[in-house]
Amino acid sequence: MTRVRVTAPRGVSPRIIPLSGIAPHGSALHGSALPAAHSSADARDAAQESDAGQVFIRSLIRSQLRLGLVVAGGFLLILLAFPLMLGLVPGLAHSTIAGLPFDWVLLGAGIYPVIGLSAWLYVRTAARNEARYRDLAGDK
């Protein structure tokens, strides 16, 4: 059986082509239609199949993994800093803000901006990594 890679660029309406003769007889795909790859997808596949393309893909995967680990590690450090701060600063755990315990306010109002900032930084940097990969691979 031949290995087939199906790709489609985002935001582009794919063409529909029949698959008659591609799928084995009796399968669910025989005579059905799937999106066809465009010339940019063909160029991307050709770049991925070359030795340089494989290096670019491995580099992208490593950079995305490194980014995920850095963002997760930074988030965990900040998350662990909250209980340390409450334990090391005397009287902070027993103080109140607007009638609410400080530790509740810290977890309720302090952690969500950290989650949002971590997510925003991750998405922004991941998109930049992918744009650099597309520039290196020649896919525009």
Does one domain contain both 88 and 110? yes
Residue 22 one-letter amino acid:
I
Structurally, how many domains does the chain consist of?
Answer: 2
Read off the pLDDT of residues 38-81 as tens digits, 9 standing for 90 and up.
445 555 555 556 777 788 888 889 999 999 999 999 989 988 98
Q: What is the pLDDT of residue 124?
A: 94
Residues 3 and 45 in one domain: no
Report the sign of the C-alpha dihedral through residues 21, 26, 32, 38, in that order.
negative
For the chain, the 3-state helix, strand and coil shares in percent, each to the nearest 5, are: 60, 5, 30
Q: Where are the alpha helices (DSSP H) in 26-50?
A: 39-49
Res 96 pLDDT > 50? yes
Q: Which domain holds residue 81?
A: 38-137
Q: Are residues 56 and 124 in the same domain?
A: yes
Amino acid identity of residue 9, one-letter, is P
pTM of the entire predicted model:
0.56
Mean pLDDT of 27-43: 47
Same domain (yes/no): 111, 100: yes
Q: What percent of the chain has pLDDT over 70?
A: 68
